[in-house]
Amino acid sequence: MMTLTDVDRALLAALREDGRMPVAELARRLGFSRATVTSRIERLVTSGIIVGFSVRVRDELDPDAIHAITLIEVEGRTTDAVIRRLRGFPEIRALHTTNGGWDLVAELRVDTLIDFDRVLGRIRSIEGVVNSETSLLLSSVMR
């Protein structure tokens, strides 16, 4: 795995803030040349550190969407296989490994309660998933 430099970290922080920021603006803001910014972005993409660019929608502009956190317990040494299966779920916005009583934390987003019920059923039917607990997110008071 590639070691991140201070330049890489600064670039990643700026891209997290605005993934569509033009290279010229990134260079000006960070105090680097356009060539440096371009080559660093290419290197970060090629190495797999940057895996894509996406659009985030303000939650209040999608008020009917259902957001939830699902805690998942995995049996024995099946974590990698379970993660591979969960990566195929478009409803899962983020997936984290963790310590403690739960092995994985999935952030879900669906359009309806019927979709919510279906995705939970699909998660629970994955071989190696032995338990789960889900909480609906009612409002975000801090991000």
Structure tokens at 33: 């040349």
Task: Kindly report, residue by residue over 130-140, the tens digit of the pLDDT.
Answer: 999 999 998 87
Q: What is the pTM of this model?
A: 0.61
Structure tokens at 110: 């669906």
What whole-number percentage of the chain has pLDDT above 70?
92
Indicate the domain borders of the chain.
6-46, 59-136
Specify the fold of 59-136: Alpha-Beta Plaits (3.30.70)
Task: Kindly report, residue by residue over 45-69, the tens digit of the pLDDT.
Answer: 999 888 887 766 665 556 678 999 9
DSSP 22-74: -HHHHHHHHT--HHHHHHHHHHHHHTTSS--------GGGSTT-EEEEEEEEE
Residue 67 to residues 37, 110, 113, 123, Cα–Cα distance (Å): 35, 7, 10, 15
Distance CA(22)–CA(43), nearest Å, equals 17
Q: Do domains 6-46 and 59-136 have the same CATH topology?
A: no
CATH architecture of 6-46: Orthogonal Bundle (1.10)
